[in-house]
Amino acid sequence: MAPALLILLGATVILRADSLSDKKSLLLPPTNFTIKVTGLSQVLLRWESNPDQEPVNIELGYHVRINAPQEEDYETRNTESKRVIVLHKGFSASVQTVPWNGQPLPPSRWVSAELKAPPGSPGTSIVNLTCTTNTTVNNHTPLRPYQVSLHCSWLAGKDAPEDTQYFLYYRYGSWTEECQEYRRDTLNRNTACWFPKTFISSRGSEALAVHANGSSKHAPIKPFDQLFALHAIDRINPPVNVTAEIEGTCLSIQWEKPVSAFPIHCFEYEVKIYNTRKNYFQTEKLMTNAFISIIDDISKYSVQVRATVSSMCRQMGFWSEWSQPVYVGSDDQKPSTEWFLIVLMAAICFILLIFSFICKTGHLWTRLFPPVPAPKSSIQDFFVIVSSEKTVSTETEIEVISYVEDPGFEALEDSVF
């Protein structure tokens, strides 16, 4: 009996130890999970580790899942996370505790939070929002030699009342500005905005957040958010001070980098050379700001250059507009010989045509070149100057043949009966 009690007691101790081990290995979900809007298209996710979590011999982290407006998963060891995302459709997220170092422990259950979509009537928010940035020289602030302007345009929603008025804002980093210069449509509604100076950095990598809301006496206007990558909307300036000159058969082209905060090594260029006489284009892509081409030195050329920021300095964007054409060379050199021959042949043909017409109408040709009489032939005279005379009578027929010889000979007449 005693051995059986000892075995039962040992089993009970083992079960209690396993129960404590399972309790310690169980991961509890975070607590006080909140979502807070901290700026245009920007939220802060915050939570706390569970105070009831038993100490474990592993490092803990958190798995965050963005559920809306678009799904996204990532892991972090922090208890807060800042996200830049559009919010006009609402926002929801979930978080759970996970082992950080890959231990085979099951994660905790999920905890979730949500931001409701802002109110507004469907079809009243702006549509077709487009924005572009452009860099100009800033002569007023030496510490910031360049300034970036922003231009945005949009259309009114299809169900927006006629009295709807829209208002636009942008946020870059911690800076937020409201538009002060609008352009209006025929119904006097704001449909475009111009920021001559902004706090946008053309060399920055942050997304540009643009927010538009509106007001109307007849319906609540639904707001709209959109994020822009700067490389995708930056309108690069064309290269400046483009020069071209011809020395012999070499066309030498030089230019300076566009007005931009990016240094000179950050640009790629494309050169377009147009031969105006032969009507063909030559294009070359370069990483330098000079190009030499072997050309026909007796033609006129049009030279243009455009630029883009290379992938060495940021993600590739659009090409700039072409620079103003620079003309070099002349069409008056080689064609002089060819045109002289063409004009000469045309003049000769024209003179001959006029001369022929005058000769035909004035009978001048006959006067200048009278017809030459054909020479006489003795044999021909013998057969041709044969006069057949027939004397017809009722009794006899007399044939008279006259034979004419050259002067100095006697004429013979025979009569044949």
Write the secondary structure of 344-388 as one string of H (helix), E (strand) and C (coil): HHHHHHHHHHHHHHHHHHHCHHHHHCCCCCCCCCHHHHHHHCCCC
Answer yes or no: do 108 and 142 share one domain: no
Q: How many domains does the chain have?
A: 3
Residue 2 lies in a domain: no
Q: Rounded CA gap, 23 and 403, in Å? A: 161
151 and 211 together in one domain: yes
Residue 7 lies in a domain: no
Does 335 reside within a domain?
no
Q: What angle do CA 352, 358, 363 make, to 5 degrees?
A: 125
pLDDT at 411 over 90: no
Interval 248-301: pLDDT, tens: 889 999 999 999 999 999 999 999 999 988 888 899 999 999 999 988 767 889
Where do we find the tokens 């299809």?
Answer: 158
Average pLDDT over the chain, rounded to whole? 82
Which whole number is the average pLDDT over 124-133? 97
Domain that holds residue 154: 127-232
Q: The domain that contains 160 carries what CATH number?
A: 2.60.40.10
Query: Are 213 and 162 part of one and the same domain?
Result: yes
Over residues 135-146, the mean pLDDT reads 83
* Cα(228)–Cα(250) distance, integer angstroms: 44
Instruction: Give every CB contact of residue 45 below 8 A, 6+ residues apart in sequence.
Output: 33, 34, 35, 64, 80, 81, 82, 83, 93, 95, 113
Q: Calculate the alpha carbon distances from 98 to 46, 66, 73 in Å.
A: 16, 16, 13
For the segment 37-76, what is each residue's pLDDT rounded down to a tens digit?
A: 999 999 999 999 999 988 878 889 999 999 999 999 999 9
Token pair for residue 299? 């033609």
Are residues 259 and 324 located together in one domain of the fold? yes
Q: SS3 for 242? A: strand
Cβ pair 83, 37 in contact under 8 A: no
Amino acid found at 236: I
Last residue of a domain, one of 232, 252, 275: 232
- Do 223 and 157 fall within a single domain? yes
Q: What is the pLDDT of residues 351-366, one digit of tens each?
A: 888 877 776 666 655 6
